[in-house]
Protein backbone atom coordinates (compact mmCIF):
# COMPACT_ATOMS: atom_id res chain seq x y z
CA UNK A 1 0.00 0.00 0.00
CA UNK A 2 2.79 2.41 0.95
CA UNK A 3 4.56 1.52 -2.30
CA UNK A 4 1.45 2.36 -4.31
CA UNK A 5 1.10 5.65 -2.47
CA UNK A 6 4.77 6.42 -3.09
CA UNK A 7 4.33 5.72 -6.80
CA UNK A 8 1.28 7.97 -6.98
CA UNK A 9 3.12 10.74 -5.21
CA UNK A 10 6.15 10.31 -7.45
CA UNK A 11 3.96 10.32 -10.56
CA UNK A 12 2.17 13.33 -9.07
CA UNK A 13 5.41 15.24 -8.52
CA UNK A 14 6.57 14.27 -12.02
CA UNK A 15 3.21 15.22 -13.49
CA UNK A 16 3.28 18.56 -11.70
CA UNK A 17 6.74 19.17 -13.12
CA UNK A 18 6.15 18.02 -16.69
CA UNK A 19 2.74 19.65 -17.12
CA UNK A 20 4.00 22.87 -15.62
CA UNK A 21 0.93 22.88 -13.34
CA UNK A 22 3.13 24.07 -10.47
CA UNK A 23 3.45 27.42 -12.30
CA UNK A 24 -0.35 27.80 -12.20
CA UNK A 25 -0.56 26.82 -8.53
CA UNK A 26 2.33 29.03 -7.42
CA UNK A 27 0.39 32.31 -6.90
CA UNK A 28 -2.05 30.63 -4.51
CA UNK A 29 0.05 28.01 -2.75
CA UNK A 30 3.65 29.24 -2.77
CA UNK A 31 3.07 31.43 0.28
CA UNK A 32 5.91 33.63 1.48
CA UNK A 33 8.39 30.89 2.34
CA UNK A 34 8.98 27.31 3.36
CA UNK A 35 10.35 25.36 6.31
CA UNK A 36 12.15 22.29 5.04
CA UNK A 37 12.12 19.17 7.21
CA UNK A 38 15.06 16.78 7.21
CA UNK A 39 16.18 13.94 9.46
CA UNK A 40 19.35 12.06 8.50
CA UNK A 41 21.84 13.51 6.02
CA UNK A 42 24.31 10.79 5.08
CA UNK A 43 25.76 8.90 2.12
CA UNK A 44 23.33 6.34 0.70
CA UNK A 45 23.69 2.68 1.73
CA UNK A 46 23.33 -0.07 -0.86
CA UNK A 47 21.25 -2.56 1.13
CA UNK A 48 17.90 -3.52 -0.42
CA UNK A 49 15.72 -3.22 2.66
CA UNK A 50 15.63 0.38 3.90
CA UNK A 51 12.13 1.00 5.28
CA UNK A 52 13.20 4.24 6.96
CA UNK A 53 14.83 5.57 3.81
CA UNK A 54 12.32 8.43 3.55
CA UNK A 55 14.03 9.85 6.65
CA UNK A 56 17.41 10.35 4.98
CA UNK A 57 18.84 12.35 2.11
CA UNK A 58 22.33 12.34 0.64
CA UNK A 59 24.66 15.31 1.27
CA UNK A 60 24.65 15.90 -2.51
CA UNK A 61 20.88 16.39 -2.51
CA UNK A 62 21.12 18.89 0.36
CA UNK A 63 23.76 20.68 -1.68
CA UNK A 64 21.46 20.72 -4.75
CA UNK A 65 18.60 22.16 -2.67
CA UNK A 66 20.70 24.93 -1.17
CA UNK A 67 22.19 25.76 -4.59
CA UNK A 68 18.65 25.95 -6.01
CA UNK A 69 17.48 28.25 -3.19
CA UNK A 70 20.49 30.54 -3.65
CA UNK A 71 20.04 30.60 -7.44
CA UNK A 72 16.34 31.44 -6.92
CA UNK A 73 17.33 34.39 -4.70
CA UNK A 74 15.45 32.89 -1.74
CA UNK A 75 16.82 33.91 1.70
CA UNK A 76 17.88 31.01 3.91
CA UNK A 77 17.06 32.16 7.44
CA UNK A 78 16.87 31.03 11.08
CA UNK A 79 13.62 30.24 12.88
CA UNK A 80 14.13 33.43 14.94
CA UNK A 81 14.23 35.43 11.72
CA UNK A 82 11.22 33.55 10.33
CA UNK A 83 9.25 34.54 13.42
CA UNK A 84 10.37 38.17 13.09
CA UNK A 85 9.31 38.32 9.43
CA UNK A 86 5.92 36.77 10.21
CA UNK A 87 5.23 39.00 13.21
CA UNK A 88 6.42 42.17 11.43
CA UNK A 89 4.82 41.09 8.15
CA UNK A 90 8.12 41.54 6.35
CA UNK A 91 7.49 39.61 3.15
CA UNK A 92 9.65 41.66 0.76
CA UNK A 93 11.79 38.58 0.05
CA UNK A 94 10.97 34.87 -0.13
CA UNK A 95 12.62 32.72 2.51
CA UNK A 96 13.38 29.15 3.52
CA UNK A 97 14.40 27.52 6.81
CA UNK A 98 16.31 24.26 7.12
CA UNK A 99 15.20 22.13 10.07
CA UNK A 100 16.51 18.71 11.13
CA UNK A 101 14.69 16.50 13.63
CA UNK A 102 16.06 14.16 16.33
CA UNK A 103 19.71 15.30 16.64
CA UNK A 104 21.52 12.71 14.53
CA UNK A 105 25.34 12.73 14.47
CA UNK A 106 25.27 12.77 10.66
CA UNK A 107 23.79 16.28 10.90
CA UNK A 108 27.17 17.39 12.23
CA UNK A 109 29.29 15.18 10.00
CA UNK A 110 27.49 15.54 6.66
CA UNK A 111 24.89 18.33 6.81
CA UNK A 112 26.91 21.05 8.55
CA UNK A 113 29.80 21.05 6.00
CA UNK A 114 27.27 21.51 3.17
CA UNK A 115 25.38 24.20 5.10
CA UNK A 116 28.68 26.03 5.66
CA UNK A 117 29.40 25.99 1.93
CA UNK A 118 26.18 27.96 1.38
CA UNK A 119 26.34 29.96 4.62
CA UNK A 120 22.94 28.48 5.44
CA UNK A 121 21.67 28.37 9.04
CA UNK A 122 19.76 25.37 10.38
CA UNK A 123 17.69 24.39 13.40
CA UNK A 124 18.24 20.96 14.93
CA UNK A 125 15.46 19.68 17.22
CA UNK A 126 16.87 17.48 19.99
CA UNK A 127 14.95 14.92 22.06
CA UNK A 128 16.74 15.18 25.40
CA UNK A 129 16.68 11.41 26.08
CA UNK A 130 18.40 10.88 22.72
CA UNK A 131 21.21 13.23 23.79
CA UNK A 132 21.30 11.40 27.13
CA UNK A 133 21.91 8.12 25.28
CA UNK A 134 18.78 6.46 26.70
CA UNK A 135 16.27 7.27 23.94
CA UNK A 136 14.32 4.59 22.14
CA UNK A 137 14.35 4.79 18.34
CA UNK A 138 11.84 1.98 17.96
CA UNK A 139 11.48 2.41 14.18
CA UNK A 140 15.20 1.63 13.77
CA UNK A 141 14.95 -1.34 16.17
CA UNK A 142 12.06 -2.69 14.10
CA UNK A 143 14.12 -2.31 10.92
CA UNK A 144 17.06 -4.20 12.52
CA UNK A 145 14.89 -7.12 13.65
CA UNK A 146 13.29 -7.54 10.24
CA UNK A 147 16.59 -7.05 8.39
CA UNK A 148 18.32 -9.94 10.16
CA UNK A 149 15.53 -12.54 10.18
CA UNK A 150 13.73 -14.50 7.45
CA UNK A 151 10.67 -14.96 9.63
CA UNK A 152 9.59 -13.16 12.78
CA UNK A 153 7.12 -13.89 15.52
CA UNK A 154 4.75 -11.12 16.56
CA UNK A 155 2.03 -11.20 19.18
CA UNK A 156 -0.94 -9.12 18.04
CA UNK A 157 -2.68 -9.05 21.40
CA UNK A 158 -2.69 -12.70 22.55
CA UNK A 159 -2.36 -14.18 19.07
CA UNK A 160 1.17 -15.21 18.05
CA UNK A 161 1.66 -14.68 14.33
CA UNK A 162 4.62 -15.59 12.15
CA UNK A 163 5.45 -13.06 9.47
CA UNK A 164 7.55 -13.93 6.43
CA UNK A 165 10.56 -11.63 6.22
CA UNK A 166 12.54 -13.70 3.71
CA UNK A 167 12.75 -11.29 0.77
CA UNK A 168 13.15 -7.51 0.55
CA UNK A 169 9.50 -7.22 -0.53
CA UNK A 170 8.31 -9.43 2.35
CA UNK A 171 10.47 -7.46 4.78
CA UNK A 172 8.94 -4.18 3.56
CA UNK A 173 5.41 -5.59 3.85
CA UNK A 174 6.10 -6.85 7.39
CA UNK A 175 7.63 -3.50 8.37
CA UNK A 176 4.64 -1.54 7.01
CA UNK A 177 2.19 -3.80 8.82
CA UNK A 178 4.04 -3.64 12.14
CA UNK A 179 4.76 0.09 11.88
CA UNK A 180 1.07 0.82 11.30
CA UNK A 181 0.03 -1.49 14.13
CA UNK A 182 2.55 0.01 16.57
CA UNK A 183 1.61 3.61 15.82
CA UNK A 184 -2.02 2.66 16.42
CA UNK A 185 -1.37 1.32 19.94
CA UNK A 186 -2.81 3.47 22.74
CA UNK A 187 0.39 4.58 24.46
CA UNK A 188 4.08 5.13 23.82
CA UNK A 189 4.91 2.54 26.48
CA UNK A 190 2.84 0.00 24.49
CA UNK A 191 5.04 0.60 21.43
CA UNK A 192 8.20 0.30 23.51
CA UNK A 193 6.98 -2.90 25.19
CA UNK A 194 6.13 -4.61 21.90
CA UNK A 195 9.36 -3.55 20.19
CA UNK A 196 11.44 -4.59 23.22
CA UNK A 197 9.75 -8.01 23.20
CA UNK A 198 10.48 -8.34 19.49
CA UNK A 199 14.13 -7.34 20.00
CA UNK A 200 14.51 -9.81 22.88
CA UNK A 201 12.97 -12.64 20.84
CA UNK A 202 15.23 -11.97 17.87
CA UNK A 203 18.50 -10.99 19.57
CA UNK A 204 18.69 -7.29 18.69
CA UNK A 205 20.32 -4.99 21.27
CA UNK A 206 18.16 -1.89 21.06
CA UNK A 207 20.04 -0.09 23.84
CA UNK A 208 22.96 0.77 21.53
CA UNK A 209 20.90 2.33 18.70
CA UNK A 210 20.48 5.74 20.29
CA UNK A 211 24.18 6.22 21.11
CA UNK A 212 25.20 5.01 17.66
CA UNK A 213 22.99 7.48 15.81
CA UNK A 214 22.47 10.53 18.03
CA UNK A 215 24.80 13.23 19.29
CA UNK A 216 25.55 13.13 23.02
CA UNK A 217 25.52 16.29 25.15
CA UNK A 218 29.32 16.44 24.82
CA UNK A 219 28.99 16.39 21.03
CA UNK A 220 26.05 18.78 21.00
CA UNK A 221 27.89 21.45 22.98
CA UNK A 222 30.42 22.46 20.26
CA UNK A 223 27.78 21.80 17.57
CA UNK A 224 25.37 24.21 19.29
CA UNK A 225 28.13 26.83 19.53
CA UNK A 226 28.44 26.92 15.72
CA UNK A 227 27.01 30.26 14.52
CA UNK A 228 24.94 28.47 11.85
CA UNK A 229 23.25 26.13 14.34
CA UNK A 230 20.15 26.74 16.48
CA UNK A 231 19.11 23.94 18.83
CA UNK A 232 15.40 23.43 19.39
CA UNK A 233 13.48 20.97 21.57
CA UNK A 234 11.81 17.75 20.43
CA UNK A 235 10.39 16.49 23.78
CA UNK A 236 12.15 14.30 26.34
CA UNK A 237 11.26 10.80 25.16
CA UNK A 238 10.11 11.43 21.57
CA UNK A 239 6.56 10.41 22.45
CA UNK A 240 3.26 11.06 20.73
CA UNK A 241 2.30 14.16 22.78
CA UNK A 242 -1.37 14.06 21.82
CA UNK A 243 -1.66 10.61 23.40
CA UNK A 244 -0.30 11.83 26.76
CA UNK A 245 -2.25 13.50 29.54
CA UNK A 246 -2.11 17.29 29.39
CA UNK A 247 0.21 17.28 32.40
CA UNK A 248 2.70 14.85 30.85
CA UNK A 249 2.59 16.53 27.42
CA UNK A 250 3.34 19.90 29.02
CA UNK A 251 6.12 18.33 31.08
CA UNK A 252 7.66 16.69 27.97
CA UNK A 253 7.84 20.11 26.28
CA UNK A 254 8.95 22.29 29.20
CA UNK A 255 11.41 19.85 30.75
CA UNK A 256 13.11 18.96 27.45
CA UNK A 257 13.58 22.69 26.94
CA UNK A 258 15.06 23.14 30.44
CA UNK A 259 17.38 20.15 30.06
CA UNK A 260 18.75 21.34 26.72
CA UNK A 261 19.21 24.91 27.97
CA UNK A 262 21.00 23.61 31.03
CA UNK A 263 23.31 21.29 29.10
CA UNK A 264 24.13 23.62 26.20
CA UNK A 265 23.80 27.07 27.80
CA UNK A 266 21.79 28.44 24.88
CA UNK A 267 18.18 29.60 25.00
CA UNK A 268 15.78 27.06 23.46
CA UNK A 269 12.87 28.91 21.86
CA UNK A 270 11.72 26.55 19.12
CA UNK A 271 9.98 23.17 19.24
CA UNK A 272 9.24 20.33 16.84
CA UNK A 273 6.46 17.92 17.82
CA UNK A 274 7.66 14.27 17.68
CA UNK A 275 5.97 12.53 14.70
CA UNK A 276 4.22 15.87 14.25
CA UNK A 277 1.26 14.65 12.25
CA UNK A 278 -2.43 15.05 13.00
CA UNK A 279 -2.51 12.15 15.48
CA UNK A 280 0.56 13.43 17.37
CA UNK A 281 -0.04 17.19 17.60
CA UNK A 282 -3.30 19.13 17.62
CA UNK A 283 -4.77 22.32 19.06
CA UNK A 284 -4.11 21.25 22.68
CA UNK A 285 -0.40 20.75 21.90
CA UNK A 286 -0.25 24.04 19.99
CA UNK A 287 -1.55 25.81 23.14
CA UNK A 288 0.78 23.87 25.44
CA UNK A 289 3.81 24.80 23.32
CA UNK A 290 2.89 28.47 23.57
CA UNK A 291 2.36 28.13 27.34
CA UNK A 292 5.77 26.46 27.66
CA UNK A 293 7.30 29.60 26.18
CA UNK A 294 8.19 28.42 22.69
CA UNK A 295 8.25 31.19 20.08
CA UNK A 296 7.61 28.75 17.24
CA UNK A 297 6.71 25.08 16.93
CA UNK A 298 6.73 22.99 13.78
CA UNK A 299 4.55 20.04 12.80
CA UNK A 300 5.05 17.51 10.02
CA UNK A 301 1.80 18.60 8.36
CA UNK A 302 2.65 19.46 4.75
CA UNK A 303 2.41 23.08 3.73
CA UNK A 304 4.20 26.33 3.00
CA UNK A 305 4.46 29.42 5.22
CA UNK A 306 1.75 32.02 4.52
CA UNK A 307 1.23 35.52 5.96
CA UNK A 308 -1.59 34.02 8.05
CA UNK A 309 0.92 31.58 9.62
CA UNK A 310 1.68 34.49 11.98
CA UNK A 311 -1.53 33.54 13.82
CA UNK A 312 -0.35 29.92 14.10
CA UNK A 313 3.28 30.21 15.22
CA UNK A 314 3.08 26.96 17.21
CA UNK A 315 1.41 25.04 14.37
CA UNK A 316 3.77 25.71 11.49
CA UNK A 317 3.66 23.44 8.47
CA UNK A 318 6.75 22.06 6.75
CA UNK A 319 7.92 20.68 3.43
CA UNK A 320 9.44 17.23 3.85
CA UNK A 321 12.65 16.52 1.96
CA UNK A 322 11.81 12.87 1.55
CA UNK A 323 14.66 10.48 0.78
CA UNK A 324 12.45 8.60 -1.67
CA UNK A 325 12.24 11.63 -3.99
CA UNK A 326 15.78 12.90 -4.30
CA UNK A 327 15.38 14.34 -7.79
CA UNK A 328 16.50 17.91 -8.48
CA UNK A 329 13.62 18.38 -10.93
CA UNK A 330 11.10 18.37 -8.06
CA UNK A 331 12.69 21.42 -6.40
CA UNK A 332 10.63 23.99 -8.39
CA UNK A 333 7.54 21.92 -7.54
CA UNK A 334 8.38 21.86 -3.82
CA UNK A 335 9.04 25.60 -3.64
CA UNK A 336 5.90 26.38 -5.68
CA UNK A 337 3.74 24.89 -2.91
CA UNK A 338 2.05 22.66 -5.48
CA UNK A 339 3.27 19.43 -3.89
CA UNK A 340 2.24 20.27 -0.33
CA UNK A 341 -1.09 21.63 -1.59
CA UNK A 342 -1.68 18.31 -3.31
CA UNK A 343 -0.76 16.38 -0.16
CA UNK A 344 -2.92 18.38 2.24
CA UNK A 345 -6.01 18.58 0.08
CA UNK A 346 -5.38 22.09 -1.30
CA UNK A 347 -5.52 23.95 1.98
CA UNK A 348 -3.19 26.83 2.81
CA UNK A 349 -3.24 26.56 6.60
CA UNK A 350 -4.06 23.34 8.43
CA UNK A 351 -3.92 24.13 12.15
CA UNK A 352 -7.14 22.65 13.49
ZN1 LIG B 1 11.56 13.02 15.55
Distance 41 CA to ligand 1 centre (A): 14
Confidence band of 186 (pLDDT split at 50, 70, 90):
confident
Residue ranges with CB less than 5 Å from ion ligand 1: 101-102, 274
Task: Say what the pLDDT of residue 20 is.
Answer: 73
Task: Say what the pLDDT of residue 142 is.
Answer: 96
Task: Say what the pLDDT of residue 10 is.
Answer: 60
Query: Considering only 7-11, 84-88, 133-137, 261-265, which range has the smallest mean pLDDT?
Result: 7-11
Burial 299-310 (b: 16+ CB within 10 A, else e): bbbbbbbbeebe
For every residue of 274-321, DSSP letters joined together read SS-STTT--HHHHHHHHHTT-SEEEEEEE--B-GGGGGGTTSEEEEE-
Distance 9 CA to ligand 1 centre (A): 23
Residue pLDDT, tens place only, 335-347: 888 777 777 777 7
For the segment 63-70, the average pLDDT, to the nearest whole number, is: 95
Distance 349 CA to ligand 1 centre (A): 22
Task: Say what the pLDDT of residue 40 is.
Answer: 98
DSSP β-bridge partners for residue 297: 271
Decide if 296 contacts 33 (C-beta within 8 A).
no
The answer on pLDDT for 270 being more than 90 is yes
Distance 234 CA to ligand 1 centre (A): 7
Question: Can you give the pTM of this predicted structure?
Answer: 0.92
Task: Say what the pLDDT of residue 1 is.
Answer: 43
For the segment 290-319, the average pLDDT, to the nearest whole number, is: 96
Distance 298 CA to ligand 1 centre (A): 11
The answer on pLDDT for 124 being more than 50 is yes
Residue pLDDT, tens place only, 229-239: 999 999 999 99
For the segment 253-266, the average pLDDT, to the nearest whole number, is: 98
Extract long-range pairs of 13-21: CB within 8 Å, 24+ residues apart.
13/325, 13/327, 13/330, 13/333, 13/339, 14/329, 16/333, 16/336, 16/338, 16/339, 16/342, 17/329, 17/330, 17/332, 17/333, 21/338
Distance 341 CA to ligand 1 centre (A): 23
Distance 330 CA to ligand 1 centre (A): 24
Distance 275 CA to ligand 1 centre (A): 6
- Percent of the chain at pLDDT > 90 equals 77
Distance 127 CA to ligand 1 centre (A): 8
Task: Say what the pLDDT of residue 280 is.
Answer: 95
Euclidean distance between CA atoms 150 and 112, whole angstroms: 38
Distance 5 CA to ligand 1 centre (A): 22
- Average pLDDT across the chain, whole number: 91
Query: Considering only 17-26, 131-140, 196-205, 263-272, which range has the smallest mean pLDDT?
Result: 17-26
Confidence band of 4 (pLDDT split at 50, 70, 90):
very low
- Percent of the chain at pLDDT > 70 equals 93
Distance 158 CA to ligand 1 centre (A): 30
Confidence band of 282 (pLDDT split at 50, 70, 90):
very high
Residue pLDDT, tens place only, 125-183: 999 999 999 999 999 999 999 999 999 988 887 888 999 999 999 999 999 999 999 98
Query: Of the spans 14-18, 132-136, 184-188, 345-349, which averages the highest pLDDT?
Result: 132-136
Distance 325 CA to ligand 1 centre (A): 20
Task: Say what the pLDDT of residue 318 is.
Answer: 95
Q: Which residue has the higher pLDDT, 337 or 256?
A: 256
Q: Which residue has the higher pLDDT, 12 or 179?
A: 179
Euclidean distance between CA atoms 287 and 281, whole angstroms: 10
Distance 83 CA to ligand 1 centre (A): 22
Residue pLDDT, tens place only, 198-222: 999 999 999 999 999 999 999 999 9
Task: Say what the pLDDT of residue 349 is.
Answer: 80
Amino acid sequence: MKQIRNNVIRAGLGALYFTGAHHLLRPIFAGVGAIFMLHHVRPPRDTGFQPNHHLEIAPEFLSAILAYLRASDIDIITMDELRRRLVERDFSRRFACVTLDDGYRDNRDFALPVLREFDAPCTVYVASDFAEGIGRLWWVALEMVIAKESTIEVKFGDVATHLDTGTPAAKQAAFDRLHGWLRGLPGEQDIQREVSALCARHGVDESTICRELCMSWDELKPFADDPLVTIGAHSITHCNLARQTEEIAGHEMATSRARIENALQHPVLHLAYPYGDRIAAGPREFDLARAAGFKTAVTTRPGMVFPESAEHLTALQRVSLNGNYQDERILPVLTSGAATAMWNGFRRIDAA
